[in-house]
A and B are shown apart, each in its own frame.
Chain A
Amino acid sequence: MQPDILMIEDEPNIAEAVRFILSREGWSVDLHPDGAGGIEAILAARPRLVILDLMLPNRSGTEILQDLRAADDADLAATPVLMLTARGQTGDDGARADAVLAKPFDNQELRATVRRMLA
């Protein structure tokens, strides 16, 4: 089943907290815990929104974002991406996230950003 949101985040406690917060809003949230296999997880799930950590093991959030934007399927390539970053930047000149949240983030801000992106 297609989830509303796919979150790619290697920190399990952050992923659990985010999933709890967003699930309470009625959105379905799938998790993928590693940079490796990240783009495959997006292609398989075809979520309405991707929440992507920038610093992931094996493959960075930036690289996954580049892979996504280069997908043959134009609809999939245009999937909105919310990047979670420690650096306040998307980290790449070629591919841009639709929104960026700097860690540590406020739960209300997270909720509001996702609501806006899924509207």
Chain B
Amino acid sequence: MPARAATVLTGTRIRERRLAMARRQADIARAVGISPAYLNLIEHNRRPVGADLIARLAEVLEVPPDELAEGREEVRIAALREAAAHPVAVGTVPELDQITEFLARFPGWSGLLIAHARRGAGLERQLVDLSDRMTRDPYLLTTLHEVLSAVTSVRSTAAILVEEGEISAEWRQRFHANLHQDSQRLSLTAQALVAYLDSFEAEGQATTPQEEVEAWLAEPGVADPDPGDLTSDAARAMAADLLAGLLDDRDALSDRALTEAIPAAGTPPDPVRLAARLGQPLDLVIRRLADLRPEGFQGAGLLVCDGSGVLTLRRAAQGFALPRPGDSCALWPLYHALAVPQVALARIVVTPDGRAFRTLSFAQRRQPLGLDGPLLTEALMLILPFDGPPPDDALPIGPACRICPRADCPARREPSILVPQGGQAQRSL
């Protein structure tokens, strides 16, 4: 199971090593498959580095991975601090000011504590994943219901054709068509289900078609990945729809027009001014910014929801951990925007792990079926990594209640499975 490497000062060591080799940031970034801007953030310790990326960086920088991620005292100190901050440490007050002494006097015990904390973190991730899938996952429940419905229809229809004796040609044709339709539906659903169940063994692997599409969208350095790379028909169909929408947006607002307008939109660039300058709708500009990720919008992510709050598009921003499909946090400004359509809302948010993001949320209403048709609302939230510590007025948000440690959240709708009941959460160091 790949464990997330400690982040503190890892970036500094990466930078030191790169400079010692007289290598350019862009060259190293290209070699490991990330953008130079992202490597820059890593080198300044503003982004965490996963174990896989550490391994690739170590290879390119010609050092053992441990040289970058492990074996340094400060990394072990950071790991001990993380262990002390875990919500499970209810009622205990670790002597944080004596960490260095503890590490020096008891290196064996320190190592054991760090190993236990990391193992615990890994098990928590597995617990969340399995709990999601086995008990609450709407995808699994819906898919199983779909399979059962198709099987029921096939069984009854086939039995009619075999057992019912004389049937008119019209009815016979109809039942054959139904069988054909249901068999196609069954094969699609079974395919998706098998891919989903297969993924149970592999941590961090795409599971539902939506997650598969999200992972496909997040491929680094690929502008237009091929939907044919996806494993399930459902994911391919979703990706094709998504690509069609992206292409429509690109026709309506070209890369060139967008990038040329950015310098006149302020620092950091203001998407609302940008939309006004371009004479284009704000929602289009937001979608294009998340698609192109031009200067000033590197690492951008995008969430889109419908009027019921269901997320219809999830494109992760760098460092912004998305919950599983079907889950979300009621405090995301995206949902605030639903209540005030046509108003752009800018908020800086902070996640439970202390990362800050700039967000811009905007909702709009439309009546695709005319005056007598339903009023549909859609909201978008552009998410951008925020450099530096979160400001005091940053809005605390989470991923989803069940995996969020904020015990005193006014929007909490269910207990977190990561925090002992009645315990203290979010201890700060």
Task: Please list the residues of chain A having a beta carbon within 8 angstroms of any beta carbon in chain B.
Answer: 11, 13-14, 16-18, 20-21, 24, 55, 86, 103-107, 110
Contacts and interface: CB of A to CB of B under 8 A. Distances in A.
A17 B156 contact: yes
Contact of B151 (A16, A20, A21, A104): A104
Q: Which of B145, B153, B155, B156 has the most CB of A within 10 A?
A: B156
A18 B156 contact: yes
B65 to A, nearest CB: 49
Interface in B130-160: 144-145, 148-149, 151-157, 159-160
A17 B178 contact: yes
Contacts of A104: 148, 151-152, 154-156
A112 to B, nearest CB: 14
A16 B174 contact: yes
B181 interface: yes
Contact of B149 (A11, A20, A105, A106): A11
A18 B175 CA distance: 12
Interface of B: 144-145, 148-149, 151-157, 159-160, 163-164, 171, 174-175, 178, 181-182
Contact of A105 (B156, B164, B181): B156
Nearest to A54: B145
A49 B156 CA distance: 20
10 contacts: A13-B181, A14-B149, A18-B156, A20-B164, A21-B160, A86-B144, A104-B148, A104-B151, A105-B155, A107-B160
Contacts of B151: 103-104
A84 B30 CA distance: 58
Contacts of B145: 55, 86
Contacts of A86: 144-145, 148
Nearest to A103: B152
Given A13-B182, A18-B156, A103 B148 contact: yes
Contacts of A105: 152, 155-156
Contacts of A24: 164
B155 to A, nearest CB: 4
Contact of B157 (A17, A55, A103, A106): A17
Q: Which of B144, B151, B152 has the most CB of A within 10 A?
A: B152
B169 to A, nearest CB: 14
Contact of B153 (A17, A55, A106): A17
A14 B153 contact: yes
Closest 4 CB pairs of A and B: A17-B156, A104-B152, A13-B153, A103-B152
Contacts of A11: 149, 152-153
A106 B162 CA distance: 13
A107 B174 CA distance: 18
B361 to A, nearest CB: 28
A107 B149 contact: no
Nearest to B147: A86
Contacts of A17: 153, 156-157, 160, 175, 178
A107 B153 contact: no
A17 B152 CA distance: 10
Contacts of A20: 160, 164, 171, 175
A33 to B, nearest CB: 13
A105 B182 CA distance: 16
A107 B163 contact: yes
A20 B159 CA distance: 12
A16 B156 CA distance: 10
Contact of B178 (A16, A18, A103, A106): A16
B149 A103 contact: yes
A105 B178 CA distance: 17
A13 B155 contact: no
Contacts of B160: 17, 20-21, 107
Contacts of B159: 106-107
A104 B152 CA distance: 4
A107 B156 contact: yes
B13 to A, nearest CB: 55
B148 A13 contact: no
A12 B202 CA distance: 37
A13 B171 contact: no
Contacts of B148: 86, 103-104
Nearest to A107: B159
A17 B163 CA distance: 13
A86 B145 CA distance: 8
Contact of A21 (B153, B154, B156): B156
Contacts of A18: 156
A11 B186 CA distance: 14
Contacts of A107: 156, 159-160, 163
A104 B186 CA distance: 14
A16 B178 CA distance: 9
Nearest to B161: A17
Contacts of A55: 145
Contacts of B154: 104
B135 to A, nearest CB: 15
A23 to B, nearest CB: 11
